[in-house]
Structure 1
Amino acid sequence: MTTDRPAVTVGVDFGTLSGRALVVAVDDGRELGTAVHPYAHGVVDGALPGGDRPLPPDWALQIPQDWRDVLRSAVPEALRAAGARPEDVVAIGADFTACTVLPTTADGTPLSELPAFADRPHAYPKLWRHHAAQPEADLIVARAEESGQPWLSRYGGRISSEWQYAKALQLLREDPEVYAAADRWIEASDWIVWQLTGEESRNLCAAGYKGIHQDGRYPDDAFLASLHPDFAGFTAKLDHPLSPPGAAAGKLSARAAALTGLREGTVVAVGNVDAHVTAAAAQALDPGHMLAIMGTSTCHIMNSQELADVPGMCGAVRDGVVPGLWGYEAGQSGVGDLFAWSVRTAAPRSYDEEAGRRGITLHELLTEKAAAQPVGAHGLLALDWHSGNRSVLVDHHLSGLLVGLTLDTRPEDVYRALVEATAYGARTIVETFERSGVPVAEFTAAGGLLKNRFLMQTYSDVLNRPVNVLAADQGPALGAAIHAAVAAGAYPDLRSASAAMGRLHRAAYTPDPARAAAYDALYAGYRELHDHFGRGGSDVMHRLRALRAAAAG
């Protein structure tokens, strides 16, 4: 007697500090098994492995072998946890943080793995939060404005230091030898698919949002030459046919099958960006449904039938999230990172001891104490720019601010002020979209921060609207698995796959009218600080950063 076994897909999500694999049933999206593999090197922001020369400020690198180790470890472990066999897997999909980008040879070998370049920081992958290319981003914007580049408005009039062109220009200006050796400049999401199939592929999503690819083309050579004479041919390092979300990139190679424990010939979906695949997992593909993927940072994704110029968003790309619609992206560079900073720096030993006695974490203790306060009781306002501002100012040389400190200020006051500041930042993004003619009909949250109920209730109160939540533990990995199901032909398109395999809890949080009214007054103060320090009222943040960079040598 035989038992029918469900067809499954595997979604692999490559995050900032770890990678995770998820095995999902194709028929209804139920999660059958998962595994997480921490990166051995994490984020390289101090010095290169084995080196002692400090990296400059705002650098953040990664190690490609850490990513391969996720395939080697997490994929077979997740398969075992699911009780699934390799022959049950109809497809595998992968998503990545973006823009995480690396220089390689023509065959995809990372330059950092060549002995000649092992001690050269620019040969390593630059993580999404590598913000050292802000001068290059500023130059791109200035030249685009001067020459009237039509693509600039698609990015809200700003280009981020996190993206492909700014990082590549920094590479050229600071290490032209490594730049010349880089035959390919490739998003990590596409590189990992290259490792799986043995053939290069490029995804439309990353190219559009991180690579300034609009209306079928990249910026022309004349514009690139205006940035640097040797930059004119840069697009050749990117140029490759682009595949839409949910397409098949190829089949699993024999080498990758041996690495992952899967069958050779298994369908491999095209790579994608972590936040964008999560829209399918959260059933947030309809126009006007904004999805906030909340973790160390937050990425906001929303589809629309209309194209509009939205100041400071991170891109409007046709078919970028789902075919047939304009996909918009915005974001906040620091969210969970801010709360972690508060725990590291603001909590005294007595708090640590209390948390230990009670068997809870410092995050949980500070959340509990912060949640017990009435709105405004701490007397503080913060700007959530510790990692710069992604939207709507698109300036990663801005910095955090805390106003209202007194000798009575407690750690939980600072913690709550930072929670509220990130909610104000999200409200600024929502209002900017709506003022630009792109209405936000629903707001859904996903990501690792969902477990903090106080945080999510604060967002509902500050936004003064219901907040839905993704009803799945691994949103990006589930989204990658959904894309894989479409690539395998199990569903005709992403919408039908999302409807069957996605998970959404509607109106999980609803606003309290009294708290919402109190937050309106505080938000007005946040906007005053936001516009003063972010829109030219004072350049002190930039001056302080320049002084820090000069002191660092």
Structure 2
Amino acid sequence: MTSGPFYIGIDVGTGSARACLIDAHGEILALAAKDILKWEPKPDYFNQSTTDIWHACSYAVKKVVADSGIDVAGVRGIGFDATCSLVVLSESTDEPVAVGPDFSDANQNVILWMDHRCPVETEQINATNHTVLKYVGGKMSIEMEIPKVKWLKAHMPSDQFLDSKFYDLADFLTHKATKAETRSFCSLICKQGYVPIGIDGSVKGWSEDFLTTIGLPELVEDNFRRIGGVLNENGTILSAGEYLGGLTESAANDFGLLPGTPVGSGVIDAYAGWIGTVASKIDDNDIRWHSVHGSNSHANTDEYEEEKDLEVAVHRLAAVAGTSTCHLAISKDSVFVPGVWGPYRDVLLPGYWMAEGGQSATGQLLAHVVKTHPAHAQALALANQAGQSIFEFLNLRLEKLRQEQDLPTLAHLVRHFFYYGDLHGNRSPIASEKMKGAIVGQSMDVTVDALAVEYLGAVEFIGLQTRHIITALNTAGHQITSIFLSGGQCRNNVLTSLMATCTGMPVVIPRYIDAAVVLGAAMLGAKAGSADDQGKTASLWHIMESMSKQGTVVYPSDHESERQLVQAKYKIFIDQAERQIRYRSIVDAVLNHDHDKVLVLESGLATL
């Protein structure tokens, strides 16, 4: 083993903390993970602990170092990513502060991203229609930090709230590693209502008017110090991977690394997925759909031009899949997409904008469909008997059903089964936590075959909703022509094939399927480690291209009947969403005694 350079990425997801160690070429030399705790004290309440998370990070880092056998002196940079969860610390002690509903348990000091405890606060914020909201798709999501802070103000003891400071989880990790109060543009802009200085009249990034209007004037005090301060006044805010300091002696001991090891500004986990996937190398001769703007084949030449290469990146959607899925698209200019978060400037590459769409439940949806079906136990036993995962078993079962019924494609198995899967609300482009699931075509059949069909309906829903998000992006002005997918769902050939066919776009699978996000974090470490004496670092895009590996491509179906079927199913998918909204509106109007509105809605319903 050489002496380096090596780089470490740390990814804190919903259920585990992971670390990876890479070399200068982006080869992953070691991976490790450790589960983290999650509490659900009440329905829709989800808490975590920074103490537990940090211990898991330390374990994973020490393990990749031990497993790879490297000399820790060769580790030249560390990068962090994490879920967009809210961390609360005491200003006076820098120690954890309880986030409730038990405000005596300071160990639980993280409100997880998927926590939905604050629907009232979210509606109150969005009812202001403040200018800030146009940079988060028109309204804040219940998953974002500001509604959760507003909930804390209303419920936690006032003395605790007044002594609290707030971090996105990724920013907490860099704070814990370096003791710096530096925040990331990614965290502040994407989840906390920060608008970069100079954009739309923004003077300090934070809006005093917005925070005061929504009832959080405490966050304005002392130049917004409790949420990171003002850039170049009392705060430091950095783009992804910029050098923010070195490991403290305490953090270095926790990780088994050397004090002073460079640490890069962190990002939200989905954005690390963009970093780890969208520069995947592809063979232009085999990519029939490839953009006319060229390839990334010149990335390592002396004629490297970042802006020219990014003309390729604007056509690539990163779909970072896990429990949920985030959809990320970059653009040179701001593009406003109703129901899609952003546009966000500077969060990854200075001067470039990002849009973030998403599905609130994808991996979680498929797991729910399978585990709650009456035939789950039987299907699981058969899968175990065959030495297969439950999804491998169901995919093979579907192919057997297709052959038995003499159907041309798997999609024909669900031609009269209409599954709408917003069981955990709609992140985009409808952007409503009120959206729920619906099934048309369900029978009393509770066999394993019925489970397979319902599972396939949920897979098709994921593909159709991906098309809905891409359609919203492109209608507004984006130019997406391909999907770069990451996460374990890449291994599900039925899902990747249906996603390609439903969207009419090729799906690119990266080399490191499960490690794309943590690889992206390691690339942030490489950027931090490139800092010169003035702290200037190398281009993140250049680092991505030099470290990314060859990807593989899944093409849309060329079966004409399947393409026509999917087109019809997409129209029905849209109709199901619109009907659900209308049904809810009719009932609400009746309960509110708004008879005129009821007549209008019922009239419209008859025409659907």
Q: Distance in 2 between matches of 1:110 and 1:540?
A: 46
Q: Residue 130 of structure 1 aligns to which amino acid in structure 2?
A: D
Matches within 5 A, 1:116-135: 117-119=103-105, 124-135=109-120
| Displacement of 1:179 | 5.5
Instruction: Compute the RMSD of aligned alpha carbons.
Output: 2.4
| Displacement of 1:489 | 0.9
1:497 maps to what in 2? 543
| Displacement of 1:120 | 7.3
Provide closer, same or farther for how the CA distance between residues 227 and 510 of structure 1 changes in structure 2, counting only shifts above 3 A: same
1:443–1:467 contact (8 Å) kept in structure 2? yes
The C-alpha deviation readout for 1:63-103, integer Å capped at 9, x for no partner, is 112211123211010111222121010011110011x0121
The C-alpha deviation readout for 1:190-233, integer Å capped at 9, x for no partner, is 11111111222200011110011113245533333333376563
**Which stretch of the first structure deviates more once superposed, 285-294 or 507-516?**
507-516
When normalised by structure 1's length, the TM-score is 0.89
Residue aligned with 1:519, SS: helix
2:53 maps to what in 1? 67
Provide closer, same or farther for how the CA distance between residues 400 and 108 of structure 1 changes in structure 2, counting only shifts above 3 A: farther
1:383 aligns with 2:420: yes
**Which stretch of the first structure deviates more once superposed, 72-81 or 174-183?**
174-183
1:367 to 395, 401, 426: 395
Residue aligned with 1:310, SS: coil
Q: Distance in 1 between matches of 2:500 and 2:168?
A: 34
Q: Residue 358 of structure 1 aligns to which amino acid in structure 2?
A: A
Residue aligned with 2:413, SS: coil
1:523 maps to what in 2? 570
| Displacement of 1:366 | 2.1
1:205 aligns with 2:189: no
2:381 to 329, 335, 353: 353
Q: Residue 5 of structure 1 aligns to which amino acid in structure 2?
A: S
1:222–1:232 contact (8 Å) kept in structure 2? no
2:346–2:352 contact (8 Å) kept in structure 1? yes
Q: Distance in 1 between matches of 2:459 and 2:60?
A: 32
2:525 maps to what in 1? 484
| Displacement of 1:175 | 2.3
Matches within 5 A, 1:335-350: 335-346=362-373, 347-350=375-378
Residue aligned with 2:30, SS: strand
Residue aligned with 1:91, SS: strand
2:77–2:529 contact (8 Å) kept in structure 1? yes
Residue aligned with 1:389, SS: coil
Matches within 5 A, 1:500-515: 500-514=546-560, 515=562
2:506 to 441, 466, 478: 466
| Displacement of 1:430 | 0.2
Q: Residue 37 of structure 1 aligns to which amino acid in structure 2?
A: K
2:208 to 221, 246, 252: 221
1:467–1:509 contact (8 Å) kept in structure 2? yes
2:476 to 432, 436, 439: 436
1:157 aligns with 2:194: no
Higher Cα Rg, which structure: 2
1:237 maps to what in 2? 226
1:313–1:330 contact (8 Å) kept in structure 2? yes
1:393 maps to what in 2? 430
When normalised by structure 2's length, the TM-score is 0.81
| Number of residue pairs matched by the alignment | 521
1:271 maps to what in 2? 266
Q: Distance in 2 between matches of 1:541 and 1:80?
A: 61
1:97–1:128 contact (8 Å) kept in structure 2? yes
Q: Distance in 1 between matches of 2:380 and 2:61?
A: 36
Greater than 6 Å deviation, 4+ residue runs: 540-543
Residue aligned with 1:165, SS: helix
Q: Distance in 2 between matches of 1:203 and 1:338?
A: 31
Provide closer, same or farther for how the CA distance between residues 7 and 345 of structure 1 changes in structure 2, counting only shifts above 3 A: same
1:251–1:265 contact (8 Å) kept in structure 2? yes
Residue aligned with 2:320, SS: strand
**Which stretch of the first structure deviates more once superposed, 503-512 or 166-175?**
503-512
2:278–2:316 contact (8 Å) kept in structure 1? no
1:324 maps to what in 2? 351
Q: Distance in 2 between matches of 1:158 and 1:537?
A: 22
Residue aligned with 1:111, SS: coil
Q: Residue 60 of structure 1 aligns to which amino acid in structure 2?
A: F
Provide closer, same or farther for how the CA distance between residues 523 and 84 of structure 1 changes in structure 2, counting only shifts above 3 A: same
Name the % identity.
24
Provide closer, same or farther for how the CA distance between residues 281 and 220 of structure 1 changes in structure 2, counting only shifts above 3 A: closer
| Displacement of 1:529 | 0.8
Provide closer, same or farther for how the CA distance between residues 229 and 453 of structure 1 changes in structure 2, counting only shifts above 3 A: closer
For structure 1, the 5+ residue unaligned runs are 48-54, 544-553
Q: Distance in 1 between matches of 2:486 and 2:5?
A: 26
1:185–1:237 contact (8 Å) kept in structure 2? yes
Residue aligned with 1:538, SS: helix
For structure 2, the 5+ residue unaligned runs are 198-203, 230-234, 280-309, 403-409, 532-536, 590-608
2:18 maps to what in 1? 20
1:32 maps to what in 2? 29
